[in-house]
Amino acid sequence: MSPSATLACRPSCGACCTAPSITSPIPGMPDGKPAGVRCIQLADDNRCKIFGQPQRPAFCGGLQPSAEMCGDSREHAVHWLAELERLTAP
């Protein structure tokens, strides 16, 4: 896949809404969320309830799917994001 190729989110994944910490406010989570905690805005089908809305944190819009991050399973993505979180922790 070329670097400019767009990768679509894996249906029913939600790894990026669970694994990383988010330090900015989220509707229903005014202090953000810690790593490993499911975002309150993640619906039962693992789709973002505030996708495309101005209340969605900039972090969320900036985290784009990639082959390296997403791999071939949700489990890969959760592990990859958790490791990134660990490596970038203060």
Parent domain of 46: 15-88
Place 89 in a pLDDT band, splitting at 50, 70 and 90.
confident
Q: Residue 56 and residue 58: Cα distance in Å, rounded?
A: 6
Would 3 be classed as within a structural domain? no
- The answer to whether residue 8 sits within a structural domain is no
The answer to whether position 1 is within a domain reads no
CB distance 14 to 45 below 8 Å: no
The answer to the question of residue 65 being in a domain is yes
User: Considering its fold, how many domains does the chain have in total?
Assistant: 1
The owner of tokens 């202090």 is 31
Inside any domain, residue 68: yes
Query: pLDDT tens, 44-86?
Result: 999 999 999 999 999 999 999 999 999 999 999 999 999 999 9
81 Cβ neighbours under 8 A, 6+ residues apart: 15, 16, 19, 20, 69
Q: pLDDT tens for residues 10-41?
A: 888 999 999 999 999 999 999 999 999 999 99
